[in-house]
């Protein structure tokens, strides 16, 4: 680690971190809400291979999904899979936040001295407290305006204290960085509250990942740096991360990558796990047996990464 990282709290050092995780983003708008038919998928069918599954939403999520969610979470917890919720950066500092096609108007941060605390309370009450989540992903999909950066960081800290790693519950707080954007300076302000740093390395040549890691290594130890790949979405980008047979896929290169000077990595995550097994260019909705996630889990556990 670089000299600049030596001031990092003990809890953020590699020797204190668990082994690599396998995580996945599950698209809630594809869920059958307990009404199985045809080629539908269910969150409850996510296999125990996943250490963590994050629920990501859009404007198409069926209201019945939220009715079924407590049963899904109970089932996943029973098999040892943690369930977290993904929210986008906007919720930390903008006055209105749209989720599942509904807009929530927050109390303006500038209206009272305890603005960040109040915003954290509203996020918890509206999006987190109703369910037995194990953590929260903040998806950093854009660079905050410079005058909003401090406010976003303050709300992040408040969430960590009230609900996340610094609270009595010790839930996870995950920072997901879109690598198609410039590396945000927000991580420099919130890294002490981050359980993991997810890098969206979709379609990226693994030889470039070291450079990406170098940009954040003073804040993020290798044991928290989690690289990501994506399955093919209907009509979505053709990242080419997963091809069939799997032996020739880019994901195999990700499995063997670790930062220079370290034999550790935070693990891997996959986007759109409900598309596991679907060939690139195939836009039909299909069920999945999670064959690729099974494969990745087996290889991840046997890649020789330190679990000290």
In this structure, the number of other CB atoms found within 10 A of the CB of residue 155 comes to 25
pLDDT tens, position by position, 252-283 = 999 999 999 888 899 999 999 999 999 999 99
pLDDT tens, position by position, 82-139 = 999 999 999 999 999 999 999 999 999 986 678 999 999 999 999 999 999 999 999 9
CA distance 307 to 221: 14
User: 7 Cβ partners below 8 Å, 6+ apart?
Assistant: none
- Among candidate residues 225, 220, 222, the one with its CA nearest the CA of residue 198: 225
Q: Which CATH architecture has domain 21-301?
A: Alpha-Beta Barrel (3.20)
**243 CB-side CA count, 13 A:** 10
When mean pLDDT is compared across 34-38, 43-47, 140-144, the lowest value belongs to 34-38
What DSSP element (H or E) covers 291? helix 291-301
* Domain ranges for the chain: 21-301
pLDDT confidence tier of residue 182, bands split at 50, 70 and 90: low
Q: What are residue 175's DSSP bridge partners?
A: 138, 197
Q: What are residue 269's DSSP bridge partners?
A: 23, 228
The number of residues in the chain equals 308
pTM of the full structure:
0.91
In this structure, the number of other CB atoms found within 10 A of the CB of residue 44 comes to 17
What DSSP element (H or E) covers 102? strand 102-105
pLDDT confidence tier of residue 7, bands split at 50, 70 and 90: very low
């Amino acid at each position: 680690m670089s000299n600049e990282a030596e001031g990092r709290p003990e809890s953020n050092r590699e020797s204190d971190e668990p082994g690599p995780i396998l995580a996945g983003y599950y698209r809630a708008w594809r869920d059958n809400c307990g009404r199985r038919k045809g080629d539908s998928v269910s969150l409850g069918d996510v296999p125990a291979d996943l250490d963590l599954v994050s629920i990501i939403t859009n404007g198409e999520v069926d209201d019945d999904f939220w009715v079924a969610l407590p049963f899904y979470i109970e089932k996943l917890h029973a098999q040892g899979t943690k369930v977290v919720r993904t929210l986008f950066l906007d919720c930390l500092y903008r006055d209105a936040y749209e989720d599942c096609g509904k807009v929530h108007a927050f109390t303006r941060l500038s209206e009272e001295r305890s603005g960040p605390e109040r915003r954290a309370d509203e996020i918890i009450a509206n999006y987190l407290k109703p369910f037995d989540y194990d953590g929260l992903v903040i998806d950093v999909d854009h660079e905050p305006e410079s005058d909003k950066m401090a406010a976003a960081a303050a709300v992040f800290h408040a969430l960590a204290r009230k609900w996340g790693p610094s609270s009595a519950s010790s839930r996870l707080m995950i920072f997901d960085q879109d690598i198609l954007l410039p590396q945000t300076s927000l991580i420099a302000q919130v890294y002490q509250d981050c359980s993991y740093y997810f890098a969206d390395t979709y379609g990226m040549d693994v030889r470039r990942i070291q450079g990406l890691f170098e940009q954040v290594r003073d804040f993020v130890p290798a044991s928290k740096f989690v690289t990501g790949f994506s399955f093919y979405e209907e009509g979505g980008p053709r990242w080419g991360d997963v091809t069939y047979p799997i032996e020739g896929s880019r994901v195999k290169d990700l499995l063997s990558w670790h930062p220079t000077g370290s034999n550790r990595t935070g693990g891997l995550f996959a986007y759109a796990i409900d598309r596991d097994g679907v060939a690139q260019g195939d836009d039909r909705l299909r069920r999945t047996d999670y064959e690729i996630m099974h494969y990745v889990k087996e290889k991840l556990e046997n890649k020789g990464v330190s679990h000290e």
